[in-house]
């Protein structure tokens, strides 16, 4: 009597299993909301009609949005639109007056800088910017209440900051300093305003409206901006930590602009919908090594790693050949300091690497754990290729993928790591910003680089008043980093930006910033 139906329980269960596997395949695809679909009539998206913009970013903002305290490049990149200093960087790498009405007058001995505060500049809270705010903001970075050293190292040269009258601020230096002016891009904030960390207030073309941790941040155009007002009314930064979510977000119409894409990602976008713009990231991507940790505390081992890694191979394999190889902590767009000859200081040479390892007492190689922040696909990809290349030299490298917060905590602050792939940028437009962190006692020296010659050179460079001499010293410092194989330098990544057709005005800076005030929808 018992008859098997075609779809018995077993078959059903098997189907359920297939379904589950299918669900696994698709579970990454749910992130992108179907908003802002092109409306067929005008060819414009809803957001374009409303003059709004959604930008996808790969990481959450810092917990504190206080510009004087934020560390992450990704946070500064977008908060650039909210804050301004006395001076402001321009796309061609110069400094233009912002809150200062004009370029400062400098005394003949190069020690006194006098700034006129621009009239009628308003903070986002409606207050007008006064000389008091300027003095207070500079002093906050110069002599922070909670630290011994200035927050911006370049301010160490400052001797006095004083208000001359309501519109004039005078800054006196203890010695002439070529890089002091670059420090004057530090954000001017309203005096004694306490909620900077959660509800930041600046003078930029956009004002901060709100943020939802791990989800988004919203900016609105600041109508009382002193300069040329921005075009787009409301900008939402959508946080999507997965590389594929960003692509899907663009494809589905949920996002209009995404910076820092890889060629793998952009190749999935339709040419009809997006323009792909190319720039360099202005990042020093390297396999950063914990110089204090055995066996990496042996210079021969570090050099062996340098010989074992084939930079061009990394660029070809993981980045479709886009990228500029580096040999030290400086990228090519800083042409003044960039030293081409360091790029090939350690040519790819596995035999040499093995020999050095043998000399150092590791004839059979060793185990190396490379910690990578899982939300940065380019770093994960580079690390994957590097791990494979190191195998040839007998080094058994494994990857440890961690969340960004864990990376900051364990690797950057805790310095508990062996090696990591990450990109370091220059906070302001100076070589110093890239080089100061490698001083032995510097708090940002997460690789524990300790080289007395380097420290000395740095002190000399800072003390030097002559630009040519200073440049020469910086170059020596770069050489020092290369010779001692402080890190395995890889490349300055190509920065591919996907911009929805119809959006114009994307401007590149020699800094890691996205200037949304210049973006506009075509009418």
* Angle between helix 377-392 and helix 311-319 axes, rounded to 10 deg: 130
Residues 207-246: x where in contact with another protein by CB under 8 A, - otherwise, as a string: -----------------------------------xxx--
Residues forming beta bridges with residue 113, ordered by sequence position: 106, 171
> How is residue 155 annotated by DSSP?
G
Contact indicator for 238, 247 with CB cutoff of 8 Å: no
Q: Which of 1, 5, 10, 147 binds another protein (CB under 8 A)?
A: 10
* CA neighbor of 145 nearest in space, from 136, 132, 156: 136
* Best CA proximity match to 472, nearest among 486, 456, 483, 461: 461
By CB under 8 A, the residues from 315 to 344 that bind another protein are: 316-318, 320-321
Contact 121, 226 (CB under 8 A): yes
**Which of 144, 313, 325, 502 is in the footprint of another protein by CB under 8 A?**
313
What contacts 415, CB < 8 A, 6 or more positions away? 290, 292, 446, 448
State the residue for tokens 């380019």. 378
Please tell me the distance from the alpha carbon of residue 219 to that of residue 353, in angstroms, as a whole number. Answer: 51
Cβ 290 to another protein shortest distance, Å: 18
Are the beta carbons of 83 and 186 closer than 8 angstroms?
Answer: no
Quote the strand ranges of 453-506, DSSP E: 487-492, 494-500, 503-504
Tell the smallest beta-carbon distance from residue 235 to another protein (Å). 26
Our finding on whether 24 is near another protein (CB under 8 A) is yes
Instruction: Please report how close the Cβ of residue 373 comes to another protein at its closest, in angstroms.
Output: 12
Binding mask 262-281 for another protein (x = CB under 8 A): --x--xx-------------
**28 lines the binding site for another protein (CB under 8 A):** yes
End-to-end CA separation in angstroms for the chain: 75
Residue with Cβ nearer another protein (293 or 455): 293
In the complex, what is the shortest distance from the CB of residue 240 to another protein, in angstroms, rounded to a whole number? 12
| Residue 471 φ/ψ, nearest 5 degrees | -60, -40
385 binds another protein (CB under 8 A): yes
3-state secondary structure (DSSP) of residue 55: strand
293 token code pair: 């940790």
What is the distance between the alpha carbons of residues 471 and 465, in angstroms, rounded to a whole number?
A: 11
- Tell me if residue 23 falls in helix, strand or coil: helix
Among 384, 418, 430, 491, binds another protein (CB under 8 A): 384
Contact call for residues 520 and 505 (beta carbons, < 8 A) = yes
How many residues sit close enough to another protein to count as binding (CB under 8 A)?
A: 43
Q: At what angle do helices 377-392 and 299-308 cross, to 10 degrees?
A: 100
Residue 71 or 317 with smaller CB distance to another protein: 317
Q: Which residue, 70 or 245, has its beta carbon nearer to another protein?
A: 245
Task: Say how far apart CA 415 and CA 109 lie, in whole Å.
Answer: 43
Residue pair 419/382 in contact by the 8 Å Cβ criterion: no
* Interface with another protein, residue 22, by CB under 8 A: yes
Selected from 14, 33, 405, 472, the binder of another protein by CB under 8 A is 14
Smallest gap from residue 356 Cβ to another protein (A): 23
**Residue 388 or residue 453: which is nearer to another protein going by CB?**
388
- CB 1: neighbour CB atoms within 10 A? 2
User: What is the closest distance, in whole angstroms, from the C-beta atom of residue 368 to another protein in the complex?
Assistant: 12
The reply to whether 381 sits near another protein by the rule CB under 8 A is yes
* Stretch near another protein under the rule CB under 8 A, chosen from 310-318, 342-350, 475-483, 491-499: 310-318
Q: Which is nearer to another protein, 25 or 145 (CB)?
A: 25
Q: Least distance from C-beta 9 to another protein, angstroms?
A: 7
Q: Which stretch binds another protein (CB under 8 A): 107-115, 298-306, 390-398, 507-515?
A: 390-398
Q: Does 388 bind another protein (CB under 8 A)?
A: yes
- String of contacts with another protein for each residue 400-429, x by CB under 8 A: xx----------------------------
Residues that bind another protein (CB under 8 A): 4, 8-10, 13-14, 17-18, 20-22, 24-25, 27-29, 242-244, 247, 251, 264, 267-268, 313, 316-318, 320-321, 374, 377, 381, 384-385, 387-388, 391, 397-401
């Amino acid at each position: 009597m018992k008859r098997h139906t075609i779809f018995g329980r077993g078959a059903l269960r098997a189907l359920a299993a297939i379904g589950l596997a299918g669900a696994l395949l698709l579970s990454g695809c749910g992130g992108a909301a179907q908003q802002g679909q092109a409306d067929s009539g005008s060819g414009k998206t809803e957001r374009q009609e409303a003059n709004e913009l959604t930008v996808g970013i790969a990481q959450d903002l810092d917990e504190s949005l206080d510009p004087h305290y934020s560390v992450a490049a990704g946070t500064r990149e977008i908060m650039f639109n909210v804050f301004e200093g006395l001076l402001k960087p321009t796309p061609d790498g110069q400094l233009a007056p912002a809150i200062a009405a004009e370029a400062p007058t400098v005394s003949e001995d190069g020690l006194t800088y006098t700034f006129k505060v621009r009239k009628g500049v308003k903070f986002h809270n409606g207050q007008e910017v006064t000389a008091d705010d300027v003095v207070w903001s500079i002093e906050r970075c110069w002599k922070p209440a909670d630290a011994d050293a200035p927050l911006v190292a370049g301010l160490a040269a400052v001797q006095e900051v004083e208000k001359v009258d309501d519109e004039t601020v005078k800054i006196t230096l203890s010695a002439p300093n070529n890089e002091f002016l670059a420090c004057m891009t530090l954000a001017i904030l309203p005096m004694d305003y306490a909620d900077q960390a959660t509800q930041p207030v600046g003078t930029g073309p956009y004002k901060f409206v709100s943020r939802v941790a791990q989800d988004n941040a919203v900016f609105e155009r600041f109508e009382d901006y002193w300069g040329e007002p921005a075009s787009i009314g409301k900008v939402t930064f959508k946080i999507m930590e997965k590389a594929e979510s960003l692509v899907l977000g663009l494809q589905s119409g949920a996002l209009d602009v995404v910076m820092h894409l890889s060629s793998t990602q952009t190749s999935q976008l339709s040419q009809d919908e997006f323009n792909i713009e190319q720039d360099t990231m202005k990042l020093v991507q390297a396999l950063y090594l914990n110089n204090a940790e055995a066996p990496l505390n042996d210079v021969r081992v570090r050099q062996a790693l340098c010989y074992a890694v084939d930079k061009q191979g990394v660029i070809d394999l993981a980045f479709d050949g886009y990228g500029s190889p580096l040999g030290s902590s400086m990228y090519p767009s800083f042409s003044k300091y960039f030293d081409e000859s360091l790029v090939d200081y350690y040519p790819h040479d596995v035999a040499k690497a093995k020999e050095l390892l043998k000399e150092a007492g590791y004839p059979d190689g060793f185990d190396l754990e490379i910690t990578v922040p899982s939300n940065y696909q380019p770093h994960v990809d580079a690390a994957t290729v590097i791990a494979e290349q190191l195998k040839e030299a007998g080094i058994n490298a494994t990857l440890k993928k961690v969340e960004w917060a864990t990376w900051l905590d364990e690797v950057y602050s805790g310095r508990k790591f062996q090696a990591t792939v990450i990109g370091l940028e220059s906070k302001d437009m100076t070589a110093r910003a890239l080089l100061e962190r490698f001083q032995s006692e510097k708090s940002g020296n997460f690789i524990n680089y300790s080289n007395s010659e380097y420290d000395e050179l740095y002190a000399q460079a800072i003390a030097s008043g002559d630009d040519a001499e200073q440049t020469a010293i910086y170059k020596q410092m770069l050489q020092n980093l290369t010779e001692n194989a402080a890190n395995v330098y890889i490349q300055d990544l190509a920065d591919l930006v996907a911009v929805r057709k119809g959006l114009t005005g994307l401007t590149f800076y020699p800094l890691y910033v996205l200037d949304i005030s210049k973006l506009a929808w075509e009418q």
